[in-house]
Amino acid sequence: MRIPATAAIAALGGALVLGLTAVPAAQAAPATSADCTTDAFGIAGKYGEFVLGDDVHSPDAEGAVAVGGNADFTGGFSVANELSAAEVDALPGRASLVVRGDLVNGGSATVVMKGDAVVGGAVKDRKVELHNGTFSRKADLIDFEAEFAKLRSYSSALAGESATSGTKVVLDGPKLTLEGSAGDRNVFSVPVEQLEKAKEVFIKVPAGATTVVNVGGQGYDMAAAGTTGFFLSGGQDFVLDDKLQSASEGKVRAKLLWNFPDATKVVKNSQAAWPGSVLAPKAHFELGTAAPVNGSVWVASLHGSGGAETHHFPFTGCLPEVPGTETPSPGGTPSEGTGTTPPATATPSASVTPPSESATPSDEPSEGPSESAAPGTPAPSDSPAAGGDLASTGSSGTIPIVIGGAAVLAAGAGLVVMARRRKSQA
């Protein structure tokens, strides 16, 4: 059967249209962006203790320590024993101990177990001991004022988040229970008056979910109620949190954040190990003399001794890039934010002692195997390479088909014109 030229061209055009619409979905789908980030705290998030002013502490911080004022480690202090090689590489200058001002130790040992030490002022009484790093003098490795401006802004914005739908905050005598069912993020709003009445605190959320406890008020004193324990549950039985035991193998504690946006003083009761990380960027943090914080602390100043250590359980929760721009859905899942960075606030409220201009003869690092460490600052292991891969949008495979289709259709149109001319001449 003879097919007219016009019909053939029409069929060809239809086939091309079908071919264009049949581009694989995986190729044509646009790249999507997550509505939260695991790096909300930037440089501060890499340190177990990140302090704007003075830090008076002994005997131990398992993670990295950065101090914007002076550090008094009298009584002995060790740093960074629990850091992995990748965590050390991700620190600014690979420095697991940063002191912008003077470092005083009263003749006791200050030991950096992993990574380097950077001090801006004098090291008084005894040299810093390093196991596999180097010592250097530098006062501007970290811009503490800029970082704390970000922390204060972020803390305030995070406090503006509405409590997640379905969350419960129940104070029953001396027992405070926080319970949420959202699988991604549970936000609680807890008046400080309630928290200070709790002798025991119970938190139950799905294992792996991020938990934010926003605490209002100018200060928090855990010793007011004599809080003795925090019990966590990831859906199973409650577990009294301690270094060697935690609910769901630590998944609840790792994503638990206590936010004190307005507090100027936070006091931890020595009897209670405090699970989760503490964001109190305007506050002096009194750790007490016993029981640790099982997480990171970001505070204006700090004091602690004895068993009041900071254990290396870094915050790994997923937080909104711009708190307050997401509207919680009925199921408690926030909608996608704008993806911009909150503006920095004014100058910090905490005073910072300026670094000493002169150094004592004893401020050089002790001799040891650390001197053989290679100098330099390796790039973080998780940093993207310049000019890295971009997400495919599927257009690269479609464009040649479109061009080829246009050429074939043009040729077909020419055949139609020639056929009509021959018919008219006949």
User: pLDDT tens digit string along 281-332?
Assistant: 999 999 999 999 999 999 999 999 999 999 999 999 999 987 654 444 343 4
pLDDT at residue 354 is higher than 80: no
Provide the pLDDT for residue 321.
85
Q: Is the pLDDT of residue 425 over 80?
A: no
Helix, coil or strand: residue 321: coil
pLDDT at 73 over 70: yes
Reported as a pLDDT band with limits 50, 70 and 90, residue 361 is very low
Of 83, 43, 39, which is closest to residue 64 (Cα–Cα)?
Answer: 83
Residue 33, pLDDT > 80, answer no
Mean pLDDT for all residues in the chain: 78
Long-range contact set of residues 171-175: C-beta below 8 Å, sequence gap at least 24 = 171/197, 171/198, 174/198, 174/199, 174/200, 174/225, 175/199, 175/200, 175/202
Structural domain boundaries in the chain: 42-372, 396-426
73-77, 360-364, 398-402 — which is least confidently predicted? 398-402
Q: Each residue of 261-293: b (16+ CB within 10 Å) or e?
A: bbbebbbbbbebbbbbbbbbbbbbbbbbebbbb
Q: Is the pLDDT of residue 104 over 60?
A: yes
Q: What is the total residue count of the chain?
A: 426
Percent of the chain at pLDDT exceeding 70:
68
Q: Answer with the residue of higher pLDDT: 250 or 375.
A: 250
Neighbour order of strands in the sheet with 239-240? 168-172, 175-179, 200-204, 229-233, 239-240
Counting residues of the chain whose pLDDT is more than 90, the rounded percentage is 65
Using the predicted structure, report yes or no on whether residue 415 has a pLDDT greater than 60. no
Q: Mean pLDDT across the stretch 28-46?
A: 71
Give residue-wise pLDDT tens across range 121-140: 999 999 999 999 999 999 99
pLDDT given at position 32:
28
Peptide bond between residue 59 and the one before it cis (omega within 30 degrees of 0): yes
Enumerate residues 6+ apart whose C-beta is below 8 A from 404.
none
Q: Specify the higher pLDDT residue, 87 or 345.
A: 87
**Tens-place pLDDT, residues 326-350:** 444 343 433 333 333 333 333 333 3
Q: What is the mean pLDDT of residues 75-92?
A: 98
- pLDDT digit string, tens, across residues 226-269: 999 999 999 999 999 999 899 999 999 999 999 999 999 999 99
Band of the pLDDT at 35, cuts 50, 70, 90?
confident
pLDDT the model gives residue 324 = 57
Task: List, in order, residues 6 or more apart from 43 with CB less than 8 Å away.
Answer: 50, 92, 142, 147
Instruction: Please say if the pLDDT value at position 220 is more than 90.
Output: yes
